[in-house]
């Protein structure tokens, strides 16, 4: 068992002081950690230490599922998985065979490729390797910052979208978006995600 980390304890204390509501399922979608483990950490419990390679492979598969879900696809859609695999291979400079093994969870990426994968998926450095407690603490810190800035400058439409649907990241190419463009872009994504949620219900 790993000792309950002080940074997470302090963050949870700040959240309790501000009486902020937490959604274990939403936190799970943003961290790649199971709802059960999220709840254990929120309750002050400890988790059994896990193998780092296993953690990396599971987090990578989580990111792949998230990326497929953005277009209403799943791992069962071979064409979509093949397209994602090809895109990843091109993005991080590996063969299609190696990328396929990464996507399927058969192989663990090197440190270099792990960094390139976090850039590709638009998630923070260390997302693939950080412990569940560290991942939860990072996400809760972001939650606190969003809440403390609620009365300040206009909210980021893409940040609101990620918070609303529990997205880890939103990856796009091209020039930076203006606030109006970001709002329209977020609206289109929200519409697609809402339709997918209705279809699944």
Residue 167: Cβ-neighbour burial (10 angstroms; 0-12, 13-18, 19+):
buried
Res 111: pLDDT: 92
- Mean model confidence pLDDT for the chain: 83
Show the tokens assigned to 147.
């809440």
User: Could you write out the three-class secondary structure of the chain?
Assistant: CCCCCHHHHHHHHHHHHHCCCCCHHHHHHHHCCCHHHHHHHHCCCCCCCCCHHHHHHHHHHHHHHHHHHHCCCCCCCHHHHHHHHHHHHHHHCCCHHHHHHHHHCCCCCCHHHHHHHHHHHCCCCCCCCCCHHHHHHHHHHHHHHHHHCCCCCCCCHHHHHHHHHCCCCCCCCCCCCCHHHHHHHHHHHHHHHHHHHHHHC
Does 193 have pLDDT greater than 80?
A: no
Residue in the block written with tokens 């519409």? 191
Does 5 have pLDDT greater than 90?
A: no
Res 146: pLDDT: 72
Res 174: pLDDT: 62
Q: What would the pLDDT profile of 114-140 be if each residue is shown by its tens digit?
A: 999 999 999 988 899 999 999 999 889
Q: Provide the Cα torsion 181, 182, 187, 188; round to 10°.
A: 70
Identify the band that residue 180 occupies on the pLDDT scale cut at 50, 70 and 90.
Answer: low
Q: What is the mean pLDDT of residues 174-190?
A: 70
Does 154 have pLDDT greater than 50?
A: no
Distance in Å from the first CA to the final CA of the chain: 38
Q: Provide the Cα torsion 162, 168, 171, 175; round to 10°.
A: 50
User: Mean pLDDT lowest for which of 17-21, 30-34, 122-126?
Assistant: 17-21
Most confident stretch, 80-84, 161-165, 177-181: 80-84
Nearest to 177 by CA among 150, 157, 199, 147: 157
Identify the band that residue 201 occupies on the pLDDT scale cut at 50, 70 and 90.
Answer: low
């Amino acid at each position: 068992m790993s000792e309950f980390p002080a940074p997470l304890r302090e963050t949870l204390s700040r959240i309790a002081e501000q009486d902020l509501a937490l959604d274990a399922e939403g936190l799970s979608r943003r961290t790649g950690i199971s709802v059960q483990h999220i709840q254990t950490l929120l309750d002050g419990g400890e988790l059994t230490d896990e193998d780092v390679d296993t953690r990396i492979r599971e987090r990578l598969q989580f990111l792949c599922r998230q990326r497929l879900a953005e277009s209403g696809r799943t791992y069962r859609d071979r064409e979509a998985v093949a397209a994602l695999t090809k895109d990843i291979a091109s993005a991080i400079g590996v063969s299609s065979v190696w990328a396929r093994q990464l996507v399927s969870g058969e192989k663990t990426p090197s440190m270099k490729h792990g960094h390139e994968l976090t850039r590709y998926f638009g998630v923070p450095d260390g997302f693939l390797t950080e412990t569940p407690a560290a991942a939860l603490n990072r996400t809760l810190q972001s939650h606190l910052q969003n809440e403390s800035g609620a009365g300040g400058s206009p909210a980021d439409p893409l940040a609101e979208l990620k918070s609303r649907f529990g997205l880890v990241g939103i990856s796009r190419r091209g020039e930076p978006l203006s606030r109006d463009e970001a709002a329209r872009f977020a609206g289109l994504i929200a519409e697609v995600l809402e339709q997918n949620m209705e279809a699944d219900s």
